[in-house]
C-alpha cells in the first residue's frame, strides 16, 4: 500500500486578479505561499520517495515550500510540462468577469468547465486529460506499484483531469468538480488491485 498526494499550487497573482492564467508563468501571492505552508503542515507525518511538478513556477514554488515544511528538501523531483495547467489560448490574461460580460455566462461555463469545449486557440479539458493521464500512467504510476509514496503539485485543470482517472469521474461529472488551492488530496494505492482510495480527513 502506498500514499499518493496531489496538491493544487497556492494562490497565484492571476488567481487573485480573477484572470485566466493557463500556462502563463505567474508567481504565487503571499496568501499562496501561506497556503503552501499550510499544505506542508498537513503532510508533516508523511514521507515521500519522489515528487512531481509542472514546469511552471507557481507549482514549483509550492512544492519547495511544502518540502521545507515537511523537512524533505532533498526529495528527488521530476518536472514535466505534461502536468502544466490547461492552455486557455486567447482567454489567457483576460478577467473572467469581463469574459462573461462579453460572451455570456453559458459560454464562460462551457469554456471553463465543459470537458470537450476548447476556448479560442486553447486546450479543452479532454486535451489536458490526453497529456496528463498518459504521463501519469507511464512515469508516476510505476512508483506507486513499487509501494513508494508520491507527491504531485500541479494545477487546477491538470489535477481535475487526473482525478477523472483516480476517482472514475465522468466527463459530465467533472464539470461540477472544483479543487481548492493549497489543499492536499490524499489517496492510498493498492498495488495488487490497482485501485485508489480517497482518504477522508
Backbone φ and ψ of 190, nearest 5° = -100, 110
Domain around 103:
2-198
| pLDDT digit string, tens, across residues 50-79 | 999 999 999 999 999 999 999 999 999 999
Please give the average per-residue pLDDT across 114-133, as a whole number.
Answer: 97
Tell me, yes or no, if 85 is annotated catalytic. Answer: yes
| pLDDT digit string, tens, across residues 86-103 | 999 999 999 999 999 999
Counting the structural domains of the chain, the total is 1
Residue 177 near residue 30 (C-beta atoms within 8 A): no
Looking up cell 490497482, which residue turns up? Answer: 194
| Element of type H or E holding 12 | none
Model pTM score: 0.96
For position 104, which CATH number holds? 3.40.50.1240
Tell me, yes or no, if 178 is annotated catalytic. Answer: no
Beta-sheet strand order (sheet of 50-53):
77-79, 50-53, 150-154, 2-8, 185-190, 195-198
Kindly name the residue from 35, 69, 85, 123 that is annotated as catalytic.
Answer: 85
Amino acid at each position: 500500500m502506498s500514499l499518493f498526494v496531489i496538491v493544487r499550487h497556492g494562490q497565484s497573482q492571476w488567481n487573485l486578479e480573477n484572470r485566466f492564467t493557463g500556462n502563463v508563468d505567474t508567481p504565487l501571492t503571499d496568501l499562496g505561499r501561506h497556503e503552501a505552508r499550510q499544505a506542508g503542515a498537513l503532510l508533516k507525518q508523511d514521507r515521500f520517495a519522489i515528487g512531481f511538478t509542472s514546469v511552471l513556477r507557481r507549482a514549483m514554488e509550492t512544492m519547495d515550500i511544502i518540502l521545507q515544511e515537511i523537512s524533505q528538501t532533498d526529495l528527488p523531483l521530476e518536472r514535466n510540462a505534461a502536468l502544466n495547467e490547461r492552455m486557455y489560448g486567447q482567454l489567457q490574461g483576460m478577467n473572467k468577469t469581463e469574459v462573461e460580460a462579453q460572451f455570456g455566462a453559458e459560454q464562460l461555463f462551457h469554456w471553463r468547465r465543459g470537458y470537450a469545449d476548447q476556448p479560442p486557440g486553447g486546450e479543452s479539458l479532454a486535451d489536458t486529460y490526453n497529456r496528463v493521464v498518459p504521463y501519469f500512467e507511464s512515469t508516476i504510476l510505476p512508483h506507486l506499484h513499487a509501494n513508494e509514496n508520491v507527491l504531485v503539485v500541479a494545477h487546477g485543470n491538470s489535477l481535475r483531469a487526473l482525478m477523472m482517472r483516480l476517482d472514475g469521474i465522468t466527463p459530465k461529472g467533472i464539470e461540477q468538480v472544483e479543487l481548492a488551492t493549497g489543499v492536499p488530496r490524499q489517496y492510498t494505492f493498492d498495488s495488487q488491485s490497482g485501485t485508489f482510495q480517497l482518504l477522508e480527513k
